[in-house]
Amino acid sequence: MKSIQTTPLDISRHLQSRRLEQEVENRTAYTIDTAELNIYETQHIAEKVELTFSSPVLASMIRGKKVMHLPGTPSFDFLPGESVIVPGQETMRIDFPEAQTLNPTQCLALAIDPGKVKQVTDLLNDRAPLIDNSNGWQFGQANFFLTNDGPIHQLIARLIYIFTENNKAKEVFANLVLQELVVRLMQTQARTLLLSTETNVANVNRLAHIAQYINKNLGRNLPIKELADEACMSEPNFYRTFRQTFGMTPVDFINQQRIALASKLLRTTNRYLADISIDCGFNNLTYFMKLFRREMGLSPAQYRKQVL
């Protein structure tokens, strides 16, 4: 469980130069050869506004609230700090329940050229292929909702800066950031699938099995060798494959899952911090409190007080 990114995306330079011509989904587009950054601003309540792109698109909320209606997906509230990947040619239907002139709803949509996506996925499939997965790395094949973590938030913010900057090297800068963003989004999607308890993926994928194994044994020491043996892999191969797929080391993943468990216990019980620390696999209370603050932005005591 990662803390939600609360720092708003900065579109101040866009606001200085854009022209408002429509009060419902006013669009300003910034274009390079491989991508198009669209910033939308809505100043009036509206329902079922339709939006379709020919290329895969990453939509991210900047300000306000939307209600998203996507084919084959239950409707959901779409808030700042959240993103959704939508395939090309798929129509989004959007409600704006809170949009006002003095408090407009703002969102960005980053459409990425399929050729650029293929370049990145081919590179990953060649250099870091997924194990126990015949489909390989994919981007934009299905709807995928996510809460932006720190790196993804920073990459989106960087792209906004590059697209709205008047720099002759814009294409070069943007393509470098686009490549990293696509990779991190695919890692997030792969990690989410492997952690899903709604599918039987753990029965056919070794890393999904390891993720479940870790979550069942968070209260004790989990050496890399034990995890590698459980996955029937050598230690170096397991470590490399895990990091390539999950976008983090096994140790970082274990700590992330332990903090998620600690967060749940803080929300749902009145147990002492020392007991929670031990049950989550931390033998050192000071280290637990330091790691919790780093991950969640609050101390365990502050977090408990806030949620209660």
Question: What residue ranges do the domains of the chain occupy?
Answer: 12-195, 199-308
pLDDT of res. 20: 44
Is 298 exposed, middle or buried, given 0-12, 13-18 or 19+ CB atoms closer than 10 A? Answer: middle
Q: What is the value of pTM for the model shown?
A: 0.84
Show pLDDT as tens, one digit a residue, over the chain (308 residues).
444 455 778 877 666 665 545 556 689 999 999 999 999 999 999 999 999 999 999 999 999 999 999 999 999 999 999 999 999 999 999 999 999 999 999 999 999 999 999 999 999 999 999 999 888 999 999 999 999 998 999 999 999 999 999 899 999 999 999 999 999 999 999 999 888 876 678 888 999 999 999 999 999 999 999 999 999 999 999 999 999 999 999 999 999 999 999 999 999 999 999 999 999 999 999 999 999 999 998 999 999 998 87
pLDDT of res. 1: 46
The CATH classification of domain 12-195, taken from the options 3.40.640.10, 3.20.20.100, 3.90.1150.10, 2.60.120.280: 2.60.120.280
Residue 26 phi, psi (nearest 5): -60, 130
Buried-state track 139-166, b at ≥16 Cβ within 10 A, e below 16 = bbeebbbbbbbeebbbbbbbbbbbbbee
pLDDT of res. 16: 63
Q: Measure the CA–CA gap between 218 and 210, rounded to whole angstroms.
A: 12
Q: Measure the CA–CA gap between 230 and 234, rounded to whole angstroms.
A: 10
Residue 294 has, within 13 A of its CA and on its CB side, a CA count of 9
CATH class held by domain 199-308: mainly alpha
Contact between 48 and 93 under an 8 Å Cβ cutoff? The reply is yes
